[in-house]
Structure 1
Amino acid sequence: MFDNDYFTEAELSCRCCGKNNFKDKTLRRLVRVRELYGNPMIVNSGYRCPAQNTRLNATMTHATGQAVDVSVALSGAHKLLNIALEEGFTGIGVKQKGSIKKRFIHLDDLDSIPGKCIRPTVWSY
């Protein structure tokens, strides 16, 4: 895994099994976002093994090693969203309703997959 000053291997690894197939290209992009953001970024979820994805009834973006969920709310969310778009993240999921502590932004840099996934895209939770 690409060595960096902001994110540990543990926080980017699967919460159930500890595997880490996080892609270096995505991590480099995430580090650039963190540098421009200028504040710590708390990772809620990085890589997820397929079994964990199934348990969470989630899409497979995290299982590709190219997705991360970051705790952020209010003006921080707006700032992070703008930076992530400028840095080439192509999938943005926004959860900004409810308790401040449960708000996050999903970032991924997946490519379009014909017939399955059109990028760039934005969605809400």
Structure 2
Amino acid sequence: MASIELNILQERELGRLLDYERATCTVDGELVYRCAFPLRPDDDLQRELIERGALAKRPDDRRGTVVAITTDGYSYFPAKRKEQEERNRDKHHDTRLVGLSACFAAACVIIGFLLGRFVG
């Protein structure tokens, strides 16, 4: 399970920050450095992401306090995708189990009918 819980707006903001970081801080798909974003005390969404643990404040010598994406923030979307895949796998497993049970029940009915017709 994902270590943090986010609502839709928080997910979108975290996704936007991750996309920005991937677009500006990577070379050939490899993360070269992590972006630091300016701390905006008046931004409720940024404050919520800090409270949830997706972003963290850290001091910067040149810019004062900045925020950066945490490990939980980076792992949020992969963990959420993994949870969805597990739910889908469980759902397909249950569907196969019900289908197999229906086939077994149908085979029992047919065998019972044939036995009743030829034996009795």
Q: If each structure's helix is expressed as a fraction of its own residues, which one has the higher value?
A: 2
Bigger Rg over Cα: 2
Alignment TM-score > 0.5, same fold? no
The TM-score with structure 2 as length reference comes to 0.29
